[in-house]
Structure 1
Amino acid sequence: MLNIMKERGDVELINYGTIRELKKRYENKEISPVEVTKQMLDRIHQFKDLNAFITINEEQALRQAELSEKKYALGEQIGFLEGIPISYKDNLYTDGLRTTSGSHIDESFVPDVNAGAVEILQSEGAVNLGKTNMHEFAFGITSNNPFYGPAKNPWNPEYTPGGSSGGSGAAVAASLGVASIGTDTGGSIRIPAAACGVVGLKATHDLIASSGVKNISWTLDHVGPLVKNMDDLAVMMEALTGEDYAGFLNEDIRGLRVGVPNNYLNEQMDEETAALYEKSLEQLKSLGAVLVEVDIPFTNDDLGLLTVLAVSEAGYVHDAYIDKPESRFGADVGAVLKSSRDISALQYMQALKRKEEVQEQFEELFTKVDVIVSPVTPTSSQKIEVEEVTIHEQAEDIFSAMIRYPSVFNMTGQPALSIPLGFGANELPVGLHFAAASYCEPILMRAGFAYEQNFLKEFYAKRDQMLAAAPTLS
């Protein structure tokens, strides 16, 4: 039976297992999609102080769950995610349900189509719990939203859950749904996954349907899942792509060539993160992986060019609103969008050219190693209002610091995975980052699963016990 405990008064704590296990319980009539959906909706309301959602989709979610329940009862053909309650970042279009993109400008926008990923998952029977909170127009990494309030980290609500898919990370960690779909331009799936202690994947650039998304940058944007474990990631990826990923959940990584960066991806991280990272390398080695030192063909100048691409294309996307006095942007996003006017066509083309070169250089590097491993971010999550981070007495704006590692693989378009690494500074989670060559998601599945099964069971147990009763603020 589904394990439901009672703690903190009448709050129901749900241990639903994996998506596969939950579907099996549906099939065995041990519990119903309607029951699980109601429990998830109850938790969303009970933990409203986390501010993980902008719009709760209660009525439609229950209708979808009822339809799934009838399918199970009648033995009809069921979808791959039949009756599984999930959420969507609020910049993915949802037919008939408002899609604000975390902005004042789109606060009343109701699409008449679904985003490509939403359409696929709906057709597979997924239940839409609602739209998650995010950094305005996905242009930031704190999810400190000036219009809908900040999303908060379930481990400590004084801290950010990362961004820009911060509401998705918080929702998955606190069991406000089984999974969530986010977007990633410079780390916006992987940073929240790391900050909230869950799993997040930025797949190869064009592998997952990306239509129907309010873009920052069509060149850099990716759509992808946030989940609690690697098995759920395999299920979500199969639903999204139609490809079988479960067969790659293999603990045997003997002989796997793990690239250990000599530069850039190992620079300027805090002591706690560095210690966890060094430990992870020894752990991978103990599983039979072969550690290979590699030089990373990426510099801070390249990070600046990535910003050129993102800001230029965001300026194009939002051109109609930037100079209108009635347009209300948050201070940080408004300043960035206005700065797009100062970027020349030559600078943009130079950035595109360098992007091609970086991608080629990394593809060559991946002929020598199977994966490259690093932390997701150089430090753990910061308090919500913090705009600057200091590491080894060197101050850096929080945006540049947190995207420094993960954004490399937005520039290359190659797949990158965030899984929990442990507890870093402020006793908050940090993430371990695996990246691979284009369309080599199976290698990431294998590496992530092996690490998870051997070293994360204790972390998962602590996470699910602690966050079952997620903290709230009065």
Structure 2
Amino acid sequence: MFTIQELLDGYRKKKFSPVEITKSYIEKAKATEEMNAFITITEERALHQAHIAEERWTCGEAGKLEGIPVSYKDNIFVKGFPATSGSQIDREFIPEQDAKTVKVLRQEGAVMIGKTNMHEFAFGITNHNPFYGPSRNPWNPKLISGGSSGGSAVSVALDSSMISIGTDTGGSVRIPASCCGLVGLKPTYQLIDHSGVSLISWNLDHSGPIARTVEDVSIVLEALTGDHYSFNEHEVNIRGLKIGVPLHVFNERMETEILQCYKDVLKKLEAIGAILVDVEVPHTGEMEDLAFTIATAEAGHVHKERAKEHLDKYGDDVRLVMEAAKNITALEYISALKRKEEIASALNNVFTEVDLIVTPTLPVLPIEIGKEMVNIQGDIEPLFNCMIRFTSYFNVTGHPALSIPAGLSKEKLPIGIQLIGRHFREKQLLTAAKAFEQQYLSAFYKERNQKMAKWDHARL
């Protein structure tokens, strides 16, 4: 499996062509259809873009992602192609304009392999879609891939797209990245323009990339923003970096293997020069209700016409959200927005003491498709509440958060660790992740690539 830089170098040296690579990615997408990574494979468009990429390499006009296979979550608009948002309601919706992210990546030469499966209207974290089927976890197809950008993560894990752009309202990039052993970034709020996306919540939604390595995420972020995020060897040094270790909530109520992995990561970060500092993450007890109020109220507004005409066509879990939206008052919504600003400011104060905060990404390992409750040492709770416990806080505050793989469980399932940084300090966040990756993830990547390579010619 190539990295982005390896593909770009191969094109530059004419070791292979964008058309050859694109054909191989399309073949992999088709060969693993039962994994439900894609809703639409855009073969004709991909080959057309690949031929253009070849011409641009020949003419010396290659963009930052010229010939790189990419996929888009199916709530991201691509002109002329359905944007179903994983629903039957929008099954026939064909946008007339590209989303801003699509336009930028197309201009930089990215080749679109397809539109990926997702939890219906991005309202869940399992990617168990009642209309297009569940996106299955490549580590174990009986398990969830995570969501709502589950198809994006599955496509990247299976190497049927090199990168995928997803959306994240409460963890929907980081959760599937963790479940599938990948790197997923929720950038600072509004760093990446989310115009041309079917949103849940304009105050909580973020767009971000899922890829196999930290460097790949950095290259994509550089293409999307025009800012500098790529690495030179001398830059990957975190000696003296102050890393916050939460005293409460983010070290509680999780499976034993995940807690142990988290503790091991902290020791490893300290071993490569980081300084660990205990921190109190403020107002965590308010976050679940706050996120629910904002997301549900805004989703109700976004979907008011759809829900009025097609309430019976939503899946069961999404229909409940539509009905709940009717009961949120204007006072509750405005109060929640005010509190959102106050908590973001309080977390900014924590970042005067530390550079980053590190937490587990998820409290539990991926569970069986169809299960909606989890049991953590006798504590039973809804899967949804459990899976967003460590991620949704940072959607409310708008701080950048990155999930990276940290190891494997005894059952060979990936465990993710989340790094959180100051607003618009993605470079520092990625540098810390790159340092950890260089020192500790080579064996994990080797095992992951061997595991995923088995799907190249396999069927369920």
TM-score, normalization by structure 2: 0.98
Q: Tell me which residue corresponds to 2:383.
A: 398
SS at match of 1:432: strand
Partner in structure 2 of residue 171 of structure 1: 155
Cα distance in structure 2, aligned partners of 1:124 and 1:20: 14
- 1:337 paired to 2:332: no
Aligned residue for 1:138? 122
> Aligned pairs, how many?
458
Q: Is the 8 A contact 1:89 1:167 kept in 2?
A: yes
Does residue 47 of structure 2 align to residue 62 of structure 1?
yes
Classify 1:305/1:165 alpha carbon distance in 2 versus 1 (closer, same or farther; 3 Å). same
Q: 2:373: which partner in 1?
A: 388
Identity within the alignment, %: 46
Paired with 1:473 and 1:346, the residues of 2 have a C-alpha distance of: 53
1:286-328 CA distance string (max 9 Å, x none):
0110000001113233211111100100000000122335750
Amino acid at match of 2:99: A
Instruction: Provide the secondary structure at the position in 2 that maps to 1:307.
Output: helix
The aligned amino acid for 1:163 is G
Equivalent residue for 1:304, pick from 285, 289, 306: 289
Compute the displacement of 1:248 (Å): 7.0
Contact in 1 for aligned 2:290/2:336 (Cα 8 Å): yes
Query: Which residue of structure 2 aligns with residue 468 of structure 1?
Result: 453
Q: Which residue of 2 aligns with 1:211?
A: 195
Partner of 1:242: 226
Deviations 1:105-159 (A, max 9, x none): 0001110101111110011110010100000000000000000011000100101
* Structure 2: distance between partners of 1:301 and 1:325: 33
Aligned match of 1:120 in 104, 121, 124? Answer: 104
Counterparts in 2 of 1:366-445, with a 5 A limit? 366-424=351-409, 426-445=411-430
| Aligned residue in 2 for 1:270 | 255
| 1:289 corresponds to which of 250, 263, 274 | 274
- Secondary structure of the residue aligned to 1:158 is strand
- Indicate the SS of the match to 1:70: helix
Q: 1:109, 1:400 → 2: CA distance?
A: 31
Amino acid aligned to 1:257: K
Counterparts in 2 of 1:444 and 1:203: CA distance versus 1, 3 Å: same
1:153 maps to 137
Structure 2: segments with no counterpart, 5+ residues: none
2:142 match: secondary structure: coil
Q: Give the secondary structure class of the aligned counterpart of 2:207.
A: strand
Give 1:197's aligned residue: 181
Q: 1:416 to 1:248 in 2, by over 3 A?
A: farther
Q: 1:450 aligns with which of 435, 440, 446?
A: 435
Question: Alignment partner for residue 362 of structure 1, among 347, 351, 375?
Answer: 347
Structure 1: distance between partners of 2:307 and 2:211: 35
8 A contact 2:154–2:180 mirrored in 1: yes
8 Å contact kept, 2:284–2:393: no
Alpha-carbon distance in 1 for matches of 2:232, 2:267 = 23
Please list the CA deviations of residues 415-469 of structure 1 after superposition, one character each: whole Å capped at 9, or x if unmatched. Answer: 0000001123643112110001101111101110011000100000000111012
Give the conservation status (yes or no) of the 8 Å contact 2:242–2:356: yes
Distance in 1 of aligned mates of 2:399 and 2:184? 14
Letter of the 2:41 partner, please give it: I
Quick one: distance in 2 between partners of 1:381 and 1:411?
24
Once the two structures are superposed, residues 52-99 of structure 1 have per-residue CA deviations (whole angstroms, 9 ceiling, x without a partner) of 0000100010000011112223x2311111111110000000011111
Aligned to 2:205: 221
Question: Quick one: distance in 2 between partners of 1:346 and 1:390?
Answer: 36
Any idea what SS the aligned residue of 2:273 has?
coil
Counterpart of 2:135, as a letter, is A
CA contact (8 A) 1:103 1:329 kept: yes
Contact 1:273 1:425 in 2 (8 A): no
Structure 1 Cα separation of the partners of residues 263 and 102 of structure 2: 39
CA distance in 2, matches of 1:440, 1:29: 36
Report the alpha carbon displacement of residue 266 of structure 1 after superposing the two structures with TM: 1.3
Q: Which amino acid aligns with 2:225?
A: T
TM-score by length of 1: 0.95
**Which residues of structure 1 form unaligned runs of 5+?**
1-14
Q: Work out whether residues 31 and 459 of structure 2, in 8 Å CA contact, stay in contact via their aligned partners in 1.
A: no
The one-letter amino acid paired with 2:246 is P
CA separation in 2, counterparts of 1:412 and 1:383?
Answer: 31
SS in 2 for 1:323: helix
Asked if 1:254 is matched to 2:252, the reply is no
Q: Deviations over 1:172-231 (max 9, x none)?
A: 111011100000000000001100001010000011111000000000000010011011
CA 1:77 to 1:307, structure 2 compared with 1: closer, same or farther past 3 Å? Answer: same
Give the SS at the match of 1:214: coil
| 1:159 match: secondary structure | strand
Would the aligned equivalents of 1:419 and 1:433 in 2 still touch at CA under 8 Å? yes
Per the alignment, residue 4 of structure 1 pairs with none
For residue 45 of structure 1, report the CA deviation from its aligned partner.
0.6
- Matched to 2:28, the amino acid is R
User: What's the secondary structure of 2:309's corresponding residue?
Assistant: coil
Task: Give the Cα–Cα distance (whole angstroms) in 2 for the partners of residues 240 and 469 of structure 1.
Answer: 32
